[in-house]
Chain A
Amino acid sequence: MSANTNSQTERRIIYLVLLIAVALPLIFPIGWKTEISGYTKLAWELIQNTPDSSVVVFSFDYDPSTLTEIQPMAEAMLEHSFSRNQKIIAMALWPQGVQMADQAFTEALKKYPDKKYGVDYVNLGYKVAGIVAIQAMGKSMPEVFPSDQRGIKYEDIPMLKKVKTLRDVAFICSLSSGTPGIKEWVMAARDPLGTPVTGGTTAVSAPGLLPYVNSQKQLYGLLGGLKAASEYETLINKIGSATIKMDAQSIAHLLILVFIIIGNIKAFYNSKRSEQ
């Protein structure tokens, strides 16, 4: 057997073992506890400490490709915001974010069926142009969104009567998986207007955004990946989809660690043998 065939077989074994390792905890949950990180706690505190009846913005800046990671965050944060009686403006800088918002509201409304469209929440829909759209919202929101997703005029929506610009909202929560997303909100809303920004993103994007969670509070906390989503669910006492999936995630990580150790031992052994 050649070295190439050998390594291909090894690769297939790794894939198979990983597949089984991820599938088993999904079928037989273990129920491991999740430690809350400071970044998640900060985001939770922002929503928790925002007063009743404040109008807040949730921007759905992602699409179905990152649904597994971001949708649990969106649902948990929406639920939390509803529990604090905040009035939610949903919008999207990504075209398919509108459907993601509808899906998240459907879930959150199961727990809060009394919330009324137009009074407690509204979906303004998708707006093209990313950072330019945010900048324009800083000057006039009715001009950027003349009507909502259902075609109701901005001035006819009760909860938006006093909201003219982004300065009138208590905070912005961007759930983003790329550009435009959290960074654009920080650049065009937090820094020039002072409106607090928080959010959630995919694990891949998180390291690039964490530097904005700093002493200047460019970002009020950040949820990065499925782990942070499960932390948020823990904070609001919810056993949601992220919490259930975390067992599989943890097992997979342990397995990858074992693979890395085995790989290193093998590489060390091979280099010794070639030296001899």
Chain B
Amino acid sequence: MSGFMATFGLWLSVFFTLSIFSFLYKDNPFYKLSEQIFVGLSAAYWLVYLYYSVMVPNLFNKLFTDFKGNLILLIPTVLGLMMLLRLIPKTQWLSRYPIAIMIGTSAGINMVRYAKTDLLGQISATMINPFAADNVVTVIGNILLIVGTICGVYFFYFSKKQEGIRAVPSKLGIWFLMISFGASFGYTVMARISLLIGRLEFLLKDWLHIIK
């Protein structure tokens, strides 16, 4: 039975893979069917998965085994239920409280963390002696890092019109930004091709057994 299920699962995967690929030719019912099934299945899967991996171990198990010791868990439970009240128009306003707490908490946590990691950490990383390196390539890299950072940030300085000498670092900043966008595009292409390789490997290896 397990052998049959494995083969059935394989053919199902092949069917959905080819159905999705068929969109490249043109939109068609097979693609639409696959897309809808994927969306529905994902929603159902996540609902069940999160219930069993989050709600059960973190809430229900704890409350059922030691209710008195876990009374504090009633606070997030009530807040969670209040969030669901959004579905009823008359009680919709109650969902604003858990949302406000979530936004406030997230902002509080992230403000400190981002300030340390993205602001102070990144500024410190740029404050280097470019000539301290032991080889020319690294020295050039360090200089580019400092110049690129300063010019890139300067490009977003809008308080004064950037003309004449003030336009030079701004233009240089655009060049650095363009190069970084190009690199990002290259990485994106690589990622998309990797996905294609993954699917083709599945078709050629697991389904057709052409490759080992």
Q: Within 8 Å of chain A (Cβ to Cβ): is B211?
A: yes
- Which residues in B have their C-beta under 8 angstroms from that of A202? 191, 194
Q: In the assembly, what is the distance between CA of A186 and CA of B125, in Å? A: 14
- Chain B 180-205 per-residue mask, 1 if CB under 8 angstroms from chain A, else 0: 10011001111101111110110010
Given A214-B122, A218-B117, A23-B200 contact (CB < 8 Å): yes
State which of B49, B121, B183, B194 has its C-beta within 8 Å of the C-beta of A245: B194
Determine whether the beta carbon of B198 is less than 8 Å from that of A12: no
Determine whether the beta carbon of B122 is less than 8 Å from that of A211: yes
- Which residues in B have their C-beta under 8 angstroms from that of A23? 200, 204
Measured CB to CB, the nearest residue on chain B to A135 is B109
State which of B113, B117, B198 has its C-beta within 8 Å of the C-beta of A68: B198
Task: Identify whether the interface residues of A are mostly helix, strand, loop, or mixed.
Answer: helix
- Which residues in B have their C-beta under 8 angstroms from that of A252? 193, 196-197
Determine whether the beta carbon of B198 is less than 8 Å from that of A207: no
Nearest CB of A to B54, in Å: 5
Q: In the assembly, what is the distance between CA of A187 and CA of B54, in Å? A: 24
Q: Within 8 Å of chain A (Cβ to Cβ): is B114?
A: yes
Q: In the assembly, what is the distance between CA of A105 and CA of B190, in Å? A: 26
Determine whether the beta carbon of B194 is less than 8 Å from that of A68: yes
Number of A-B contacts (CB under 8 A): 116
Determine whether the beta carbon of B195 is less than 8 Å from that of A26: no
Nearest CB of A to B18, in Å: 12
State which of A68, A131, A183, A191 has its C-beta within 8 Å of the C-beta of B195: A68
Measured CB to CB, the nearest residue on chain A to B123 is A216
Q: Within 8 Å of chain B (Cβ to Cβ): is A199?
A: no
Q: In the assembly, what is the distance between CA of A109 and CA of B28, in Å? A: 44
- Chain B 141-184 per-residue mask, 1 if CB under 8 angstroms from chain A, else 0: 00000000000000000000000000000000000000010011
Q: Within 8 Å of chain B (Cβ to Cβ): is A30?
A: no
- Chain A 212-227 per-residue mask, 1 if CB under 8 angstroms from chain B, else 0: 1011101000001111
Q: In the assembly, what is the distance between CA of A165 and CA of B200, in Å? A: 43
State which of A67, A96, A132, A191 has its C-beta within 8 Å of the C-beta of B198: A67
Determine whether the beta carbon of A26 is less than 8 Å from that of B201: yes
Q: In the assembly, what is the distance between CA of A226 and CA of B196, in Å? A: 12
- Which residues in A have their C-beta under 8 angstroms from that of B114? 187
Number of interface residues, chain B, beta carbon within 8 A: 40
Q: Within 8 Å of chain A (Cβ to Cβ): is B136?
A: no
Task: Identify whether the interface residues of B are mostly helix, strand, loop, or mixed.
Answer: helix
Q: Within 8 Å of chain B (Cβ to Cβ): is A22?
A: yes
What class of interface size applies to chain A in its complex with B? 35 or more
Nearest CB of B to A21, in Å: 10
Q: Within 8 Å of chain B (Cβ to Cβ): is A203?
A: yes
Determine whether the beta carbon of B190 is less than 8 Å from that of A12: no
Q: Within 8 Å of chain B (Cβ to Cβ): is A69?
A: yes
Determine whether the beta carbon of B197 is less than 8 Å from that of A226: yes
Given A211-B122, A214-B122, A69-B184 contact (CB < 8 Å): no
Measured CB to CB, the nearest residue on chain A to B181 is A207
State which of B25, B122, B187, B189 has its C-beta within 8 Å of the C-beta of A224: B187
Nearest CB of A to B36, in Å: 18
Determine whether the beta carbon of A225 is less than 8 Å from that of B189: no
- 18 additional contacts, CB 8 Å, given A15-B24, A214-B122? A8-B26, A22-B196, A23-B200, A128-B53, A135-B109, A187-B114, A191-B121, A202-B191, A202-B194, A204-B187, A212-B121, A215-B125, A216-B124, A225-B190, A248-B200, A252-B197, A256-B189, A256-B193
Give the 3 A-B CB pairs with smallest separation, nearest first: A68-B198, A214-B125, A203-B191
Provide 13 A-B residue pairs closer than 8 Å at the C-beta atoms, listed in order of the A residue: A12-B24, A22-B197, A23-B204, A26-B200, A26-B211, A69-B194, A132-B109, A183-B117, A191-B116, A191-B121, A202-B194, A224-B187, A226-B190
Q: Which residues of A pack against B, CB within 8 Å?
A: 8, 12, 15, 18-19, 22-23, 26-27, 67-69, 95-96, 126, 128, 131-132, 135, 183, 186-188, 191-192, 202-204, 206-207, 211-212, 214-216, 218, 224-227, 241, 245, 248-249, 252-253, 256
